[in-house]
Structure 1
């Protein structure tokens, strides 16, 4: 699994990204096909697993952007869940 750099709040995805094509930021960082993301999110056993995938696919995205990105793939989470997963990842990096 990729290591997450979770410092600060990130800028989130650009405003000109087509909401019908959730391909990460749209800035070329994420090379996965939207179908691959859809499959990964759908097969995630827990919301935390789906959030971890979203964080890797959208580096630097803020909590609200992660919630929106996952909703585009049919996974409903809230900002509190995203925050908790980020916090746990940081704790694991420090430990």
Structure 2
């Protein structure tokens, strides 16, 4: 359950999973004010998330380059990192193969 706190004008100024002191009320799941408040909090993160996605690709390329030049070994990376990189490599390879599929008239 989510609890909200409102200002004198009735606008949502805080949200929490547990009430912390006085002035908190239980929010209804379909309350539009809560959705507006949540969007306002996360709107600044959208640009950061976009750069995170492109940074992931850059990091993959840097890791591949370091391994290729024998600066590091792939097995030096933690097992979880190796697994994630292998999954991404497989997904990227699959996308490349789909782009080259002559049966669908694609390049």
Bigger-Rg structure (1/2): 2
Higher strand share: 2
- With normalisation by structure 2, the TM-score equals 0.28
Structure with larger RCO (C-alpha < 8 A, sep 6+): 1
Higher helix share: 2
- With normalisation by structure 1, the TM-score equals 0.31
